[in-house]
Amino acid sequence: MNMDPLIMLEAVGTIAVLSYVWKENAAYRFFEFTAIGLVAAHSIVQTWNNYLKPTVRDRMIGDGEWYLLIPAAIGLLYYTRVMDKKFSWLARYPISISIGYSIGYSLAYSPRPFLKEFRNNFASFGHVNDYIFLLVWLLVVFYFIFTLMKKTKKTLRVTGAITRCLIMIYMGVLFGTSILGKFSRLLGRYQFLLRDWLRLI
């Protein structure tokens, strides 16, 4: 058995978290909260090292880019939310700027990969898969557009039933992928416990 304190701690943490499968317990809770705390602490250190320190030390003091104080001041307005109520409205400025920025970003860049995917997928037809792809796509689009008409039109009821099966197959693939991902995660932990901690394999 590996008696390295870090390995021991990791092993105890792994077993405590896995014990949740049987029943929620104090050991699981302790490690859950510890993990959340660690992530929060790590993020703060990362932000300090990667952003605040280089921005203040290199760009502001080193290169004299003092205009950076303006966005910094706007960012600090977020904290007015926890101050007296008569100042809390000031938090709307950084919120509105960041939301506006995000929306602008999305409008500029989000349609591009989707349109490219759509265009390229229907660019050439030579293989039987291309026709299957087109057929399934049409069926799914019709399924959702004519959802309400399915009650009255028999043809749509039939295609609707077929499409529902196709959608279920797709969902099954996604579910299967997710389950395999979960297995991989558990296998990684087994490997750690058996190889790195207990040295059995």
Whose tokens are 């929620």? That residue is 24
Question: Which of these segments, 72-80, 86-94, 150-158, 169-177, binds another protein (CB under 8 A)?
Answer: 169-177
Q: Does the protein bind another protein through residue 117 (CB under 8 A)?
A: yes
Q: Is 183 in the site for another protein (CB under 8 A)?
A: yes
Q: Does 64 bind another protein (CB under 8 A)?
A: no
Three-state SS string across 116-171, please? Answer: HHHHHHCCCCCCHHHHHHHHHHHHHHHHHHCCHHHHCCHHHHHHHHHHHHHHHHHH
SS3 state of residue 102: helix
Single residue of 89, 105, 125, 131 touching another protein by CB under 8 A: 105
Closest approach of Cβ 54 to another protein, in Å?
5
First to last CA, the chain: 11
Residues with Cβ < 8 Å from 124, sequence gap 6 or more? 130
CB of 155 to another protein, least distance (A): 28
User: Rule CB under 8 A: is residue 126 a binding residue for another protein?
Assistant: no
Task: By CB under 8 A, tell whether 99 contacts another protein.
Answer: no
Return d(Cα 98, Cα 106) in angstroms, integer.
12
For residue 91, the minimal CB distance to another protein (Å) is 20
Chain contacts with another protein (rule: CB under 8 A): 21-22, 39, 42-43, 46-47, 49-51, 54, 58, 105, 109-110, 112-113, 116-121, 133, 170, 173-174, 176-191, 194, 200-201
